[in-house]
Amino acid sequence: MCNGCVQKEYPDRGSTCLENGSYLMNYLGCAKCHHRDFVLICNKDTEDDDGEEIVTYDHVCKNCDHVIARHEYTFSVVDEYQEYTMLCMLCGKAEDSISVLPEDPRQTASLF
């Protein structure tokens, strides 16, 4: 993973967790070939580890195959919530939790 290719390492993305794609706003260009072109997704792998889905892939320079960053996305269901996380030098770090119930108990509790 290459800190010369990104504007900021592991930017805080709040609750935006990407299962696929690239955060090009953070991409300076390839530090190896000095081109700023498309970023390819290579070596994508999905595994299910005890109820947790883990998606990993490499962000790679289209021109010279330089590995820009390694992307990891996880999804799991814990109690009544869907939990998402993302960790990537290019795309950033983020986590989110969404209720599987029609009404989120955390939202209704704060009303009273």
Residue where the block lists tokens 């967790």? 17
Distance, C-alpha 36 to centroid of its chain: 21
**Among 18-22, 72-76, 100-104, where is mean pLDDT lowest?**
100-104
Mean model confidence pLDDT for the chain: 90
Residue 34 backbone dihedrals phi, psi, to 5 degrees: 65, 25
**Predicted confidence band of residue 100 (pLDDT cuts 50, 70, 90):** confident
Average pLDDT over every residue of 63-83: 93
- For the cut 90, the answer to whether the pLDDT of residue 80 exceeds it is no
Please name the residue that has the structure tokens 């999905």.
46
Asked if 77 and 59 count as a contact pair (C-beta separation under 8 A), the reply is: no
For the chain, what are the domain ranges?
3-99
Was domain 3-99 assigned CATH 2.60.40.4240? Answer: yes
Decide: 57 and 40 in contact? Cβ < 8 Å. Answer: no
With bands split at pLDDT 50, 70 and 90, how would you rate the model's confidence at 109?
low
pLDDT at residue number 78: 85
Burial annotation 4-17 (CB, 10 A radius, 16+ → b, else e): ebbeeebbebeeeb
Bridge partner residues of 52 (DSSP): 49
